[in-house]
Amino acid sequence: MVAFRTNFWLKFSLVNLLLVATLGVLMRYKIGFDFPFFSQKHIQHAHSHFAFSGWVTHSLYVLMIAFLTKKIPSLSTQNYTRIILVNLVCSYGMLISFFIFGYNASSIFFSTLTIVIACFFAYSFFQDLQKMDSLDPSRPWFKAALWFNIVSCLGTFYLAYMMASRNFNEHWYLASIYYYLHFQYNGFFIFACFGLLISQCAHFLPMFKYDRTVFTLSFVSVIPAYFLSVLWADLPLWLNIAVAIAAFMQLYAWIKFIWAIKRAANLGSTLTTFQRNMFIFVSLAFSIKLLLQLGSTIPALSDLAFGFRPIVIAYLHLVLLAVISVFILTYFYTFGFLHVNKLAQQALTLFVVGVFLNELVLAVQGIAAFGYVPVKFANEILFAAALILLIGAGLMVIAQRKKIVESE
């Protein structure tokens, strides 16, 4: 039986992150400076689709397969290897076709195929989950993550229907986009990350006690929490109340979880100072995300937030970069999936600096927009932040080529 090459596939993750960062630099350069070549819209589509499929989804698939191989030593991974390979081919296909053509037959073909792959992966993973302990705390998180991944695709199908039928409605268009983003970000990505983290808690926090109500509260609140994204749609009072309750439930579940982590950490942890600081950064970012989400239940604040593009972009980047991307990278290095050396740690630190600078400027830009006050040199600083992210990602790729692994 051929072993699953986790390290090999995760090196693709770093290369893919580097490509995502390269497109980010190109977009920021076009915004801040005169650069007439390439279509900004095409770059944006290539950037977002490849970030989702080639970077986050690829990384989560590989880490979830690694979880299974650890729990089921006799697991056959040939089918998963084919799924990973096809998903990568489709991701690169989307990257190239969106970059050159934007939305056309080829980009739609590759996008649709990634949905088919998601279904195959979910089916295979569900089947293999049945072979392991049903009481494993990570199990429900992974099952929910994959269900949400499939459910999110309904948003893209409706978008395709509107484009094909030319029956375009702006509100339904936005609702479909936010539907897809919500169940990707708050469903698939977040639940998969929680599943991965919980699977390792016993190793770095020997005294950690898992509370199953954290999953129950988080799962139950995901569907009503979608309506946080469409509060502009003049929802009925009962639905607004349900949305507010969902936001409180998610925050309460997070407080319960982080409190259990803190108590266990006080009793002993195997994390290094660097690893602990990275996880603290992710935890703070996720806390801010949940507080912003709760604040958006106030109609006046919601109307303001959705009215200014920098705030929307800042929120999306907060989740995708500060929470999900930094968590995945920290997970790589903390639990031995990639080589850890001084350069790798410096590269991740630099990447986090870029994330922080990007979020800070977007937040200042968004707050200033309330008073219609322009922020001087904002585009130039955002370009600098994108460059820092690119350099950090590039150094992470280079760090994996070093033969000597330094223990720190």
Annotate 86-133 with three-state secondary structure.
HHHHHHHHHHHHHHHHCCCHHHHHHHHHHHHHHHHHHHHHHHHHCCCC
Q: Cα Rg for the chain, rounded, in angstroms?
A: 21
Distance CA 286, CA 297 (A): 17
**What pLDDT was estimated at residue 163?**
62
Task: DSSP for 328-383, please give it.
Answer: HHHHHHHTTSS---HHHHHHHHHHHHHHHHHHHHHHHHHHHHHTTPPPTTHHHHHH
Q: What torsion do the CA atoms of 198, 200, 204, 210 make, to the nearest 10 degrees?
A: 30
Distance CA 341, CA 236 (A): 55
Distance CA 394, CA 93 (A): 22
- Threshold 0.75, pTM exceeds: yes
**What pLDDT was estimated at residue 238?**
85
Task: Quickly count: other Cβ atoms within 10 Å of residue 302's Cβ.
Answer: 19
Distance CA 126, CA 123 (A): 5
CB 285 within 8 A of CB 254: no
Distance CA 207, CA 27 (A): 46
Distance CA 324, CA 46 (A): 19
Distance CA 237, CA 328 (A): 38
- Going by C-alpha positions, the residue among 317, 294, 334 that lies closest to residue 386 is 317
CB 399 within 8 A of CB 341: yes
Element of type H or E holding 316: helix 309-317
Distance CA 72, CA 54 (A): 26
Distance CA 389, CA 347 (A): 9
How many H helices and E strands in the chain?
16, 0
Q: How far is CA 21 from CA 7, 107, 290, 310, 351, in A?
A: 21, 20, 26, 19, 10
Residue with tokens 């749609």: 233
> How many residues in total does the chain contain?
408
Q: Which residue stretches of 138-236 are H helix?
A: 139-165, 170-182, 190-204, 213-225
**What pLDDT was estimated at residue 308?**
63
Residues 6+ apart with CB under 8 A from 248: 294
Distance CA 318, CA 288 (A): 9
- Please name the amino acid found at residue 88: L
Distance CA 367, CA 305 (A): 9
Residue with tokens 């630190």: 349
**What pLDDT was estimated at residue 31?**
85
CB 168 within 8 A of CB 192: no
Distance CA 139, CA 137 (A): 6
* pLDDT tens-place string over residues 176-200: 888 899 999 999 999 999 999 999 9
**What pLDDT was estimated at residue 277?**
94
**What pLDDT was estimated at residue 406?**
44
Q: Which residues in the chain show pLDDT less than 50? A: 403-408
> Can you read off the two tokens belonging to residue 64?
């979830």
The alpha carbon dihedral of 90, 91, 96, 97 has a sign of: positive
Element of type H or E holding 204: helix 190-204
